[in-house]
Structure 1
Amino acid sequence: MSYRSRTAALLTAAATLLVAVVALTARSEPAAAHGAAMVPGSRTFLCWKDGLTPSGEIQPNNPACSAAVAQSGANSLYNWFSVLRSDADGRTVGFIPDGQLCSGGNPGFLGYDLARTDWPLTHLTAGRTMEFRYSNWAHHPGTFSFYITKDSWSPTRPLAWSDLEEQPFLTVTNPPQRGAVGTNDGHYYFTGTLPADKSGRHLIYSRWVRSDSPENFFGCSDVTFDGGNGEVTGVGPGGTIPPPTTPPPNPTTPPPHGGDCMAVYQVINSWPDGFQGEIMIMNHTTATWTEWTASWTWPSGQSIAQLWNGTHTSSGTSVTVTNAPYNGAVDPGGTTTFGFLASTTGTNALPTVTCTGH
């Protein structure tokens, strides 16, 4: 039986120099890149919005976002939904160190633990009921929990577990979702009431604990309780994003977990007439695969010159890649990757990749 899923293309980096490529044996690893708080926006999500440019490159405007990228690299924003620990299994105090709550202790996101007062800020009203949104980049069952900082917390020191109120003010399990999985706009949504006894600057700390895996997600959302309606300041050249609007009711029931393959397309480096790409294949089923296939159609005249960790065939603009003899096995919740060099004669538009595994 094969498993299929539509997948989204993700641009992750742009560079001006060609780097040497060494083909390495791919192996099954814990799946990554699945979600983050969008309303109120997490640091990685709002810094990603802050730095977006028409070319797809990330060039932060906000000084805190710039400092985070200087420490953790631009990939931390191309992968804004990847603040996770694959081995968390619901653990908090004693597992994630004080001062690393915002990164979840993930080495690739430590820049987002910086104690600063100039992070993008969401303006809220204490005690108000609002719609929360959390990216559904990849669908998984589980429970979302939102905590608020104590009144003694200060943004000038790194967040510690003792800075959070003991109990979450909002907990929800398996909420509905809007939009397509694997897109920048798709999200879970649910209604919650903000704490009524808060004023001024605070952090909302979010945890998403999967029920089908030990993988957990973490994030910090900088907020101020000043009578706001969800406006965001400190983002983009203009510095302000209006409050989110609620789309017409069009809920979707989360599909049953399992039975899907997901592929994430990334541009690793680029130069005037070519680029280096990588595609990660994720097994979101409960069965171990012995082989997989990925397919896409080039939208703007690209052509593969060399590919590693897979075997490819091309027919016009259509490309099909099958596993190499050594990387067909992908465990449940695992991933494998293949890479390639390609030429381009114009704009390097991103393809949509589909994959199957069995």
Structure 2
Amino acid sequence: MMTRTKEHPPLSPHHRRRAVLLALLAVLPALLLVFTDSAPSAAHGTPMQPASRTFMCWRDGLTSTGEIKPVNPACQAAVAESGTTPLYNWFSVLRSDGAGRTQGFIPDGQLCSGGNTTFNGFNKARADWPLTHLTSGASLDFSYNAWAAHPGWFYVYITKDGFDPTKTFGWDDLESTPFMTIDHPQVTGQVGTVEGAYKWTGNLPSNKSGRHIIYMVWKRSDSTETFYSCSDVVFDGGKGEVTGVGEPGSPSDPPSDPQATCTATRKTTNSWSGGYQAEVTVTNTGANPILGWMVEFTLPTGQKVDSLWNGNATYNGQAVMVHNVDWNGSLAAGASATFSYVVNGGAADATTSQLCTVH
């Protein structure tokens, strides 16, 4: 299942056992709201073996009362800066405009957040992040959650010898090329749960010791959307054991606030021969504030967005992905924001559905 390919996001030439968590985490908040069966799906996911910072801290924070209260000091510091929203959205460290880009796109010091400001707290240079214990050169069963599945490539990097986790993490700290490239792996388990995952087996780099970061980039092949993640590991003869996290709550007691959700409704505000103007209202339907949102929809064949305002849009054929702008992403429970766009090439299609996801 594992193949190597020359197609990977390069760094600049001059800068050159399984997770024991799955059985404990059977119930999770459903964060994707799809309005019709034919609605497009947004990709979401993060490494679970070796586990990313966001997944580790979410697991660390689970309590039997449904609250999310991290015990790990680094996770507490991340929450102090960014709140608990990133823990509910542990699978959303993404850039919609990433297009697989790495160095020169994501700034030094922001690799773990992927340059996504919602997750800034996870960029902290600390030596007390939760750890996965590994053996240099050993075979490992990798697992990458598929909260929402899409085709693409996984590029797996590792830090250079002598990496210091207490210093700002930059591109110079990584080996220049991935030690592993995974080409369009298949999903096992149910998508939209912890059991849904891309899985593969591969060998870890040889001659590694001490603390490192395994850095993964998931590049979608059907969109410019790209995911970034940091997994803190230590090469000490381990076989995938985890330390630095508290005991999770009972799987029968999921978080009491799973509704980190939003809706997106569209209306046509003007029309003419060969075109129309539409407005989309995004509403926070959850119980807690959200820091950002994304709306996806697909235009009928022959139509094209001519202009769009109050949102940041990327396009892939007829597929349109709109992220909030700086001033309308933060929404209190029940609050709404709008964006508008003009389309040329036909009339408004009443069947076009909108997918809204929280970031």
TM-score range, shorter chain: 0.5 to 0.7
Please give the root-mean-square deviation of Cα atoms over the aligned residues, in Å: 3.6
Residue of structure 2 equivalent to 1:184: 194
Return the match for 2:319 from 323, 332, 341: 332
- AA matched with 1:148: I
1:63 and 2:83 correspond: no
Aligned pair partner of 1:45 in 41, 55, 73 = 55
Question: TM-score, normalised on structure 1?
Answer: 0.62
Structure 1 residue 152 displacement after superposition: 2.7
For 2:100, which of 84, 90, 94 is the aligned residue? 90
Per the alignment, residue 113 of structure 1 pairs with 123
Find 1:269's aligned residue among 287, 301, 314. Answer: 287
* Residue equivalent to 1:22: none
| Counterpart secondary structure, 2:234 | strand
**What is the CA-CA distance between 1:212 and the residue it aligns to?**
1.0
> Which of 39, 46, 56 does residue 36 from structure 1 map onto?
46
CA distance in 2, matches of 1:145, 1:336: 25
2:297–2:353 Cα contact (<8 Å) kept: no
Q: Is the 8 A contact 1:11 1:56 kept in 2?
A: no
Secondary structure of 2:168 counterpart: coil
CA distance in 2, matches of 1:236, 1:218: 25
For this pair of structures, how many residues does the alignment match? Answer: 251
Partner of 1:234: 244
Deviation string for 1:292-314 (max 9, x for gaps)? xxxxxxxxxxxxxxxxxxxxxxx
2:169 aligned residue (149, 159, 171): 159
- Worse-superposed segment, 135-144 or 182-191: 182-191
Measure how far apart 1:154 and its partner are: 0.4
Change (3 A) 1:180 1:286: farther
Residues 189 and 156 of structure 1: is their aligned pair in 2 closer, same or farther, counting only changes over 3 Å? same
2:45 and 2:297 map into 1 onto residues whose CA distance is 15
- Verify: 1:219 aligned to 2:216, yes or no: no
CA separation of 1:68/1:284 partners in 2, compared to 1, >3 Å: closer, same or farther?
A: same
Q: Residues 107-146 of structure 1: matches in 2 within 5 Å?
A: 107-146=117-156
Q: Which amino acid counterpart does residue 319 of structure 2 have in structure 1?
A: P
Conservation of the 8 A alpha-carbon contact between 1:11 and 1:267: no
Counterparts of 1:187-198 in structure 2, within 5 Å, are 187-198=197-208
| 1:235 alignment partner, SS class | coil
1:9 and 1:108 map into 2 onto residues whose CA distance is 19
Unaligned runs of 5+ in 1: 1-7, 13-29, 239-264, 271-275, 291-330, 342-354
Match of 2:214 among 201, 204, 209: 204
What CA distance in whole angstroms lies between the structure 1 residues aligned with 2:333 and 2:124?
Answer: 36
List runs of 5+ in structure 2 lacking aligned partners: 1-27, 33-39, 249-282, 304-317, 325-330, 335-350, 355-359
Q: CA deviation at 1:203?
A: 0.5
